[in-house]
Amino acid sequence: QITEQPSEAIDAKVTSIKAKNVLEGQTSNKLEASLAKLKSLIADDYDFMMLTALDDVKANLQATPSLAIELEALLLEAKIKQYFGAFSEALLLNAQALDIGEQLQDPILLAHVYSAYGQLHLELEKTRLANQFYDLGLQAIGENNPAYRAHILVLKGQLHVFNGSYRQAILLYQQAETLLTADSITQIELQLAYSQAALKLGRPEDAREALEKLNPTFVAVFSSEQMLKYQLLKAQTYLQQGEFQQAIEIALEQLSITYNSRFLTIQAQLQKLLADAYLQLGEMREAYIFLNRYHLTVVALDEQKRNNKVLQLEAQLNTRLQQQQIRLLEQENTLHATQIQQQHLQQQQQQKEHEQTKKKWGFFAVLFMVFVWILYRRFITQQYLARLKSEVTKQTLELAQKNKELEQLSYSDSLTGLHNRHYFTNIIEDEIALVERAFSSTKASDAYGLSFALIDIDYFKHINDRFGHGAGDSVLKQFSTILKTVIREGDFVIRWGGEEFLIVFRHALRDDVPAIVERLRTRVAHYPFDLEQNKPLQISCSIGLATFPFNKQNVTAFSWQQVLELADLALYGAKKSGRNAWIALDYQAQSQLSSEQLIKQGLAQAVASKAISVQSNLTQPLQF
Ligand SMILES: Nc1nc2c(ncn2[C@@H]2O[C@H](COP(=O)(O)OP(=O)(O)OP(=O)(O)O)[C@@H](O)[C@H]2O)c(=O)[nH]1
């Protein structure tokens, strides 16, 4: 006999266990407590309290995150959504739970997720998919947790029942039973499922046996649904065993509980059972009433199933739309990624170009700076060169000036300021050339020659000896001054050496020169030479005179050196003949005397033979 328990007693027990769970939760862990509360509320019934409990769990999860509990909460939320027909949302939540399960790699949690997927697909009447998910669940759990494995086997069995394979279901239940201990809570669903399958096979004894295996403690904590199923199975067992009155009593009582509830399937089964039972008892009116109610409930159920179908289609459509959107988004993302890549490449290209431009400008800048530097250097160099040039010019001028001065010095006699012998040798060749040219182009008698007058102070040694060398120098200076007074501009006065001087008459006809030297002789002879403390001194000088060209007809017959030598011989003659005298030698045109002949025979002979004519201020015979 099936033991029955009054519903008040069951309610009291449920309340106390719930309270205990909640209390334990509060003391140990707020999050786990809130999850336990949610579970117990869902197990009891789907009322609005569970939504508040769900919010609590979510809030606690935020405070103390736990992936395992988040997974369970997601599955519970999915179960609620599924219950209210929001299948697509339930699918989404299951998918989120699966993500976490795969992340955690916990076999029990994964199996939990897969069995939730299975139940959802069974609800959507996709039995093949549901079976695959249960198999995945079994695969995940392996041999780790026999109780949970048994739970999935029971779910698989129920799938077979749905498909009408009752024997298959019984086999799975028997397999599940071997995995469970007598006090396992999974025994509830197993025995209920087993008894249902047995009844389908028309084996009420087996069904009763299964129900009796249930520990009364379990019966006390049944959820509303479990209790309804349990009572329905009990009533069906009574019906199959012909105990119609007991079946009717149980069914009527349960029907009153489900009258306004959402357990339409059970309600319909109870109504069908009552109709059958009354029919067996011959109470046709009652049978008709319940049969009628049964039809109405079936219609409502059909509608509910239709609605579920619609919802399922909607879910599929939503899923497709979502997939389409995801595809579009993926395409957009790909496009975006390509654009970003292109932009990146463009940016890189721009950057490269920018750097190249920078380098180019940098190169130009360096080039420009080098160019400016070169210009600057050139400018500086030019300035330096200009300075150098002006310096060189200045120095050259200075040098020229100094050279001139030096030349002047080298051409001058330091004591008298007259030209020296060096000057004479420097200019004489040019002067001779001029004379030669003049004689070649003009009538020889008209042209000026160069008359050499060699002058020597008489007894100069005595002056030095008598008055000192300084007095001698002074006489030399004063003598020079007298010499300068008798010459014209363009004639030269040269200190020939010691107390000897040379006058070169350039602008005088040779016939006029004897008169000039006579004037010079008398001027010297009458000049009072000043010897400072001493009384003025009277001195005289001797002069030898000869003119180039010596032979006017043959200009080159006597060189200027030979003419000068003749002048010197004349001077020697003047000294020898008594001093304070001048002697002028001249060539006689008819003599045809050559310089070689003159040197050979000597001057005395030449004068005696009248090859050379002689003039002098002296009247006594001249000596050479
Ligand atoms: N004070 C002075 N004496 C000079 C200079 N040059 C030469 N003498 C001197 O002049 C003298 C020339 O003497 P001599 O050549 O013997 O002839 P002189 O005494 O003039 O006799 P004659 O020429 O024969 O009339 C020497 O004693 C030289 O030392 C000079 O620059 N200054």
| 8 A C-beta contact, residue 168 and residue 200 | no
Between the CA of 469 and the centroid of ligand 1 the distance, in Å, is 10
590 DSSP 8-state letter: G
CA-angle at 564, arms to 561 and 569, nearest 5°: 125
Task: Give the model confidence (pLDDT) of 523-533 as tens digits.
Answer: 999 999 998 87
pLDDT (mean) for 290-315: 80
Task: Give the model confidence (pLDDT) of 474-521 as tens digits.
Answer: 999 999 999 999 898 899 999 999 999 999 999 888 899 999 999 999
Task: Give the model confidence (pLDDT) of 7-36 as tens digits.
Answer: 344 444 445 545 554 444 444 488 888 999
* Nearest Cα to Cα of residue 513 among 583, 440, 593: 583
pLDDT band at 243 (very low <50, low <70, confident <90, very high): very high
Give the closest residue (by CA) to ligand 1 atom 7: 498
Between the CA of 475 and the centroid of ligand 1 the distance, in Å, is 11
How far apart, in whole angstroms, are the C-alpha atoms of residue 213 and residue 2?
10
Between the CA of 565 and the centroid of ligand 1 the distance, in Å, is 20
pLDDT (mean) for 560-569: 96
Share of the chain above pLDDT 70, in %: 92
Q: Is 450 exposed, middle or buried (0-12, 13-18, 19+ CB in 10 A)?
A: buried
Task: Give the model confidence (pLDDT) of 197-222 as tens digits.
Answer: 999 999 999 999 999 988 888 888 88
ipTM summary value? 0.93
The whole-number pLDDT of residue 6 equals: 37
Task: Give the model confidence (pLDDT) of 566-586 as tens digits.
Answer: 999 999 999 999 999 999 999
How far apart, in whole angstroms, are the C-alpha atoms of residue 299 and residue 291?
12
Share of the chain above pLDDT 90, in %: 60
Q: Decide: 575 in ligand 1 pocket, CB within 6 A.
A: yes
Q: Decide: 461 in ligand 1 pocket, CB within 6 A.
A: yes
How far apart, in whole angstroms, are the C-alpha atoms of residue 610 and residue 590?
10
Q: CA 151 → CA 103, 134, 154, 304, distances in Å? A: 24, 10, 5, 27
pLDDT (mean) for 328-345: 89
Q: Decide: 458 in ligand 1 pocket, CB within 6 A.
A: yes
Which H or E run contains 583?
strand 582-587
Beta bridge partners of 542: 456
Task: Provide the residue count of the chain.
Answer: 624
Name the amino acid, one letter, at 75.
L
Q: Decide: 460 in ligand 1 pocket, CB within 6 A.
A: yes
pLDDT (mean) for 549-574: 94
pLDDT (mean) for 363-383: 93
- End-to-end CA distance of the chain, in Å? 204
CB atoms within 10 A of CB 471: 19
Q: Following DSSP, what letter does each residue of 177-209 receive, concatenated?
A: HHH--TT-TTHHHHHHHHHHHHHHTT-HHHHHH
Q: How many CA atoms lie within 13 A of 312 on its CB side?
A: 13
SS3 546: strand
SS3 495: strand
Task: Give the model confidence (pLDDT) of 575-621 as tens digits.
Answer: 999 999 999 999 998 888 888 888 888 888 999 999 999 999 999 98
Least confidently predicted of 47-56, 68-77, 252-261, 555-564:
252-261
Between the CA of 571 and the centroid of ligand 1 the distance, in Å, is 15
Between the CA of 499 and the centroid of ligand 1 the distance, in Å, is 6
pLDDT (mean) for 339-349: 92
The whole-number pLDDT of residue 445 equals: 60
Ligand 1 atom closest to 458 (CA): 25
How far apart, in whole angstroms, are the C-alpha atoms of residue 429 and residue 413?
21
